Amino acid sequence: MKPGIVYLIGAGPGDRGLITVRGLECLRRADVVVYDYLANPAFLDEAPATAEHHYVGKTRGRHQAPQEEINALLEAKAREGKTVARLKGGDPYVFGRGGEEALHLHRCGIPFEIVPGVTAGFAAAAYAGIPLTHRDFTTSLALVTGHEDPDKKMSSLDWSKLATGVGTLVFYMGMANLPLIVRELMAHGRPASTPVAVVRWATTPRQQTLTGTLADIVVQVRETGLKPPAVIIVGEVIRLREELQWFENRPLFGRRIVVTRTAEQAGDFNRLLEEQGALPIGCPVIEIVPPQNWQEVDAAIAGLSSTDYLVLTSANGVDIFFGRLRQLGLDLRALAGVKVVAVGPKTAAAMEVFGLLPDLVPAEYRAEAVVELLQQEGVAGKRIFYPRAEKARDVLPRELAAAGAEVVAPVAYRTLAPAGAGETVRHLLQAKEVDAVTFTSSSTVENFLALLGPDAVELLQDVTIVSIGPLTSATARRHGLNVQVEPPDYTLEGMVAALITYYHPS
């Protein structure tokens, strides 16, 4: 069999945005993904759902898989004709043994491609506000291994040249040997006053930066207990950090925020939070499932030609409606004479994905506003199709019927709590490692509390409770939660803005 190909892909330092376009392209066509602990596990979701995953990194108590084993795995999978994505933290050719893997493949005659990545030293410097070169401070840069293994001697390094011959030094894997690195640099002529920065988990919301000088950095690291993975940057350029830091200044930097939306819907919200520096913790408390049977929905769809309005009040509703339409062998033309109402911009955006532009969107995004809007239209004698969630309030059908409309409102989807989702968050809450919990609907409140169990309210006592709007807040309060943050406009963007104001009252 003709062998497949192995892509040695630099996955960057951690932030999901810092993989290259080429890296993602290769990952998306992979049959096999081989990764280690420095590559962001979120990238696994980019590979096809059918792809095999092989973890070869080190975990607590277990060393990294031996290099020969990794080489053999890459070779074996490629020999099966498969496309292999070998994800490596940072850049594959910078202290990543990418060279060894590529040589092995070359010697076996297996095609490979190297996709460079953003190496940790570059990323750490950028995200800590340290230009690695600046013509006023330095014109040269060295990337140096600090051999995390304290048994190994660092004798291969020419300390006298490094100490005085290079402006900026970046040490990888150097935390265990920091005392030795500092001592050698000073012994070989680097002034004790030279600035040093240690950057841990660079580019992630867990980033920590410690600055000092060759004289005091060891004591500082000891006192703060800073651990690997971290890069150590040595040089005058570190002085620029005071003015140039930006990442750690973000308004929600490092805040750990639980997102209770469905896995499919959490993406947008996670991104908004991440852009402000927060660490979203996914706890999908809702799973969308079809109705017990489709009879009523199908009958309503069959009657679309004599229907005047279609009302959709959530992105889920939109997806379910179009999914069913498609299953029935129908498309957009089934809606030819129907006026379409979306409850708000997110629902409208979900429609646009299917090529449908809503005719009406109320100014305020709630059922009452939809009713008002339709009352203004004059709906007496009109037929309105409202595919709804099982637990939806009955304001819409009731009020519209009262206005003289014929309302067809079958249950189109149900929301269930997925089993087991609460465990991780429960542990984080117990360990006081959560800053805020966000709720975007009453059912997220109810399902989340149910997932956590009887002591839920107690567990949430010291946590900031964020709700999307008054109805969700009312549900939360009814269950004994103290809602501290609620945006004026009932949107995800509003929630993020309200959180920022909450943490930074001006």
231 binds ligand SAH (CB under 6 A): yes
Nearest to 453, CA basis, from 339, 288, 285:
285
Scanning 25-33, 117-125, 158-166, 280-288 for contacts with ligand SAH by CB under 6 A, the matching segment is 117-125
- List for the chain the helix, strand, coil content (%; round to 5): 40, 20, 40
Pick the binder of ligand SAH from 202, 288, 371, 449 (CB under 6 A). 202
**Please, what sign has the CA dihedral across residues 356, 359, 362, 368?**
negative
CA atoms of 96 and 116, how far apart (whole Å): 11
397 binds ligand SAH (CB under 6 A): no
Phi, psi for residue 218 in degrees, rounded to 5: -65, -45
CA distances from 186 to 143, 175, 199 (A): 18, 17, 21
Question: Is 227 known to be catalytic?
Answer: no
Catalytic: which of 45, 58, 158, 359?
58
Pick the binder of ligand SAH from 3, 4, 23, 89 (CB under 6 A). 89
Scanning 225-233, 280-288, 299-307, 476-484 for contacts with ligand SAH by CB under 6 A, the matching segment is 225-233
170 binds ligand SAH (CB under 6 A): no
116 binds ligand SAH (CB under 6 A): no
Residue 292, SS3? Answer: coil
With a CB cutoff of 8 Å and minimum separation 6, the contacts of 260 are 283, 284, 285, 286, 437, 438, 439, 440, 444, 447, 448
6 binds ligand SAH (CB under 6 A): no
13 binds ligand SAH (CB under 6 A): yes
Question: Is 58 known to be catalytic?
Answer: yes
Comparing CB distances to ligand SAH, the nearer of 4 and 89 is 89
Which of positions 31-50 make contact with ligand SAH (CB under 6 A)?
38
230 binds ligand SAH (CB under 6 A): yes
Is the Cβ–Cβ distance between 486 and 339 less than 8 Å?
no
Token readout for 355 is 């090529």
Q: Binders of ligand SAH: how many residues, by CB under 6 A?
A: 25
Pick the binder of ligand SAH from 119, 177, 270, 440 (CB under 6 A). 119
Catalytic: which of 173, 175, 351, 495?
173
Pick the binder of ligand SAH from 3, 90, 277, 387 (CB under 6 A). 90
Pick the binder of ligand SAH from 47, 130, 199, 237 (CB under 6 A). 199
Q: Centre a 10 Å sphere on the Cβ of residue 336 and count the other Cβ atoms it contains.
A: 8
Catalytic: which of 15, 31, 36, 435?
36
Question: Is 462 known to be catalytic?
Answer: no
Q: Residue 207 Cβ, how far from ligand SAH at the closest point, in Å?
A: 7
Angle in degrees, 0-180, between the axes of helices 178-187 and 217-224, rounded to the nearest 10: 170
Pick the binder of ligand SAH from 57, 167, 212, 228 (CB under 6 A). 228
Comparing CB distances to ligand SAH, the nearer of 98 and 195 is 98
Pick the binder of ligand SAH from 35, 201, 309, 321 (CB under 6 A). 201
Token readout for 334 is 């089934």
Nearest to 422, CA basis, from 441, 449, 404:
449
With a CB cutoff of 8 Å and minimum separation 6, the contacts of 74 are 6, 34, 84, 86, 101, 104, 105, 110
C-alpha 284 chain-centroid distance: 13
| Binding stretches for ligand SAH (CB under 6 A) | 13-14, 38, 88-91, 94-96, 119-120, 124, 148, 172-173, 199-203, 228-231
Active site residues: 36, 58, 173
